[in-house]
Structure 1
Amino acid sequence: MRIPVVQHSSRRRSARRRRVLWGGGELLVTVGVVLALLVVHQLWWTNREAKRGAERKVEALEREWGDDNSGAGGGDSGASVPTPSASPYQDSSGRDRQQSATARQSSPSWSQAYAILTIPRLGLRVPVAEGVSKQKVLNKGYVGHYPGSQQPGQAGNFALAGHRNTHGEPFRYINRLRAKDVVEVETSSATYTYAVDKTLPQTSARDSGVVRAVPRSTVKPRYGYSEPGYYITLTTCTPEFTSRYRLVVWGKLVSMRPRS
């Protein structure tokens, strides 16, 4: 009977295969750990840091304005806004309070935080900064003001953008807003109260019509407005954890309360 002989070359090949398989396994485990750390960084760490930074900025703005209140509130006690064509903020002496409040505002510098956005239904209170740069504005947990759109309280469209996921995700739940929900914008000169009016659940990321002075979707024209007014627009990405489409919420100005 012949006894099989194991060749040294066969042993070497088997050893190399084991080393390759072991090395491949280690590489996969390492890649998995790295990906897990990246997910933790994006979903937890960036949110934590951005939210803390945004809270500190809100506190700094309140100190700068000498406002000891923790929230805006009471917006319905301000001047009403009857029509977009008339001056809506005249007091009993006939002075135009909107003009005087606007005159006290200075044009914000690029990426400067200059206002506070409060949405009571969402428990949201975050800074508003000029521009929509990811690095300098949105990734800091701020809400960004679209350059070229109007400022708070002005006739036209005060248009804002914010992250829906990661980096503070201030607009994660704006899909929960319903008609007549309150949205308040505080500046150094006044508090402007808007009421949610319409929602566009999904449109193209390139749908610039939603942030125009008279906002109307160019992709879905049945969504939007046809007359001048005092509008606010909130935009964010949809579906969650993607940036393929945009979710849009619109509101109308209902009152303004000047700071004393």
Structure 2
Amino acid sequence: MPQETHGPQEPNGQPDEFEAAVGRLNDPLNDPLPGRTPPASGTGAPAPQASSAPGTGRRRRHAAPTPSPAPAPPPASGSQGSPWFRAQQEPVRPPEARPAAPTEPIPEPADPPVRTAPAGRPAARSSAPWLDEETMALALRQAEKRGRRSVSRETDAAVSRETESAVSRETTPPATGGRAARRKAAQEAAKRGGRRGRHGGAAATTSTAGAASEPASVPTTRLEARRAARAAKDSPSLIASRALGEVFITLGVLMLLFVTYQLWWTNVMAEEEAGGAANNLQQEWNKGGGEKKNLAVGERFGIMYIPKLDVKAPIAEGIDKHSVLDHGMVGHYDKTSGVKTAMPWDKKGNFAVAAHRNTHGEPFRYINKLTKGDKIIVETKSSYYTYEMESILPQTSPSNISVIGPVPPGSGFTGPGRYITLTTCTPEFTSTFRMIVWGKMVDERPRSKGKPAALGG
């Protein structure tokens, strides 16, 4: 029996038919895609080659026909169920049965050059050329997806277009070998696509970050760093303006607190003190005794009632602001005031008094509302003295002391008598002028006989 000749061996000692047989094995990657015709199964025969006739939608790539070498003898240790044995049992298509290459192939300037098998080796046949192209397209799409993951939303479209163009330019033709060759080609394409996607995404991200941080400048020298530090500090004028603003705010708060104290709290304190002083006087008077003639400044000796204004305030000697008026009391003009006036129990004279119109109890705030005939009552230790309001002077100078004389001019009195004069500041919340109210005595009643009718007696 003549000795069979064998083709060139691979480094692992297996013929090329072994790779072709392995490529025809069932593989999940060879499952048909939607709209494709699956290859023949069960026979192990290779899929039919795509036709080069017009209208088929595919161009066939031809390789130079080479003589098929004689089959190699099976290895001693191989079994009949091995892939190599099945490959040897399958009929090998002779080269002359293949369709001849067209004499004038259609020019394909965009396609890569056709690879030809080296001399002495059979051309590697693809089990399904259309499947190889679909596998490559799937691999490229997966590579593009991995490349897009590292790209920001703003640069996704630009990077994807760049990646697609780069991959399409550098992609090699589909592998025509077995499954190992196809897998290797897909892995290389995926690596190239993923690398370019990452580089493009990093560049786009860097450019975006650079554009966002473009206004910021970093000092490069110590002098520039010092200048930047000085510029970051507040200028002396800014610090001074802030301090001045804080001072004004503090002063405003203090003024608000002062106004609140003057207009509200002083009234509360003065009314409480004046009410207590009046009650203490009445308790002392109930013990009996006569009028005290020599009085010290600030000493209380009587109580004034103005029923129309609901006023009840103690009367003290002198018109000193701090010791008398600021305590909510009515002050009597004595010799320390510059003009000494009569007392209520004197048989003739003008009993002149003063009090605050605003703040500190403000006993005379509404004396401008008094009309002729309104009662003004003064209670002392021994008697009640009742006066009737006679006239009013809305405004006069503080230096006009004639208004508290024995017979005040402008009061309507024509001769000496027993009169009363009320003085206070005007307008309200100022002390620019003085308001004057005059009255004359109409009744004198001992305390032992009870209160006068004006007080409900």
TM norm. shorter chain > 0.5: yes
**Partner residue of 2:247?**
27
What is the rounded CA distance, in whole Å, between the counterparts of 2:427 and 2:284 in structure 1? 37
TM-score, structure 2 length as denominator? Answer: 0.45
**Partner residue of 2:14?**
none
**Partner residue of 1:143?**
330
For the pair shown, the structure with the greater C-alpha radius of gyration is: 2
Q: 1:177 to 1:139 in 2, by over 3 A?
A: same
**Partner residue of 1:70?**
none
By relative contact order (CA 8 Å, sep 6+), the higher-ranking structure is 1
Give the one of 275, 291, 301 matched to 1:105. 291
Give secondary structure in 1 for the equivalent of 2:424.
strand
The answer to whether the 8 A contact 2:411-2:438 is kept is: no
**Partner residue of 1:17?**
237
What is the rounded CA distance, in whole Å, between the counterparts of 2:417 and 2:360 in structure 1? 32
Q: CA deviation at 1:186?
A: 0.2
The answer to whether the 8 A contact 2:268-2:361 is kept is: yes
Which ranges in structure 2 are unaligned for 5 or more consecutive residues?
1-215, 335-339, 449-457
What is the rounded CA distance, in whole Å, between the counterparts of 1:128 and 1:215 in structure 2? 22
Q: Which amino acid aligns with 1:230?
A: R
Q: CA deviation at 1:223?
A: 4.4
What is the rounded CA distance, in whole Å, between the counterparts of 1:110 and 1:26 in structure 2? 45
Q: Does 1:253 align with 2:253?
A: no
Kindly report which structure 2 residues correspond to 1:173-212, keeping only aligned pairs within 5 A, or say none.
173-212=366-405
What is the rounded CA distance, in whole Å, between the counterparts of 2:309 and 2:411 in structure 1? 24
TM-score, structure 1 length as denominator? Answer: 0.78
Q: Does 1:244 align with 2:432?
A: yes
Q: Which amino acid aligns with 1:156?
A: G
The answer to whether the 8 A contact 1:153-1:230 is kept is: no
Q: Which amino acid aligns with 1:131?
A: G
The answer to whether the 8 A contact 1:141-1:167 is kept is: yes
**Partner residue of 2:274?**
54
What is the rounded CA distance, in whole Å, between the counterparts of 1:183 and 1:31 in structure 2? 43
Higher fraction of helix: 2
Higher fraction of strand: 1
**Partner residue of 1:100?**
none
Q: Which amino acid aligns with 1:105?
A: E
What is the rounded CA distance, in whole Å, between the counterparts of 2:231 and 2:412 in structure 1? 74
Residue correspondences, number: 218
Q: Which amino acid aligns with 1:60?
A: N
The answer to whether the 8 A contact 1:117-1:186 is kept is: yes
Q: CA deviation at 1:226?
A: 3.0
Q: Which amino acid aligns with 2:429?
A: F
Q: Does 1:226 align with 2:414?
A: yes
The answer to whether the 8 A contact 1:153-1:256 is kept is: no
Q: CA deviation at 1:118?
A: 0.2
Name the stretch that deviates more: 5-14 or 159-168. 5-14
Which ranges in structure 1 are unaligned for 5 or more consecutive residues?
68-102, 217-221
Q: CA deviation at 1:109?
A: 2.3
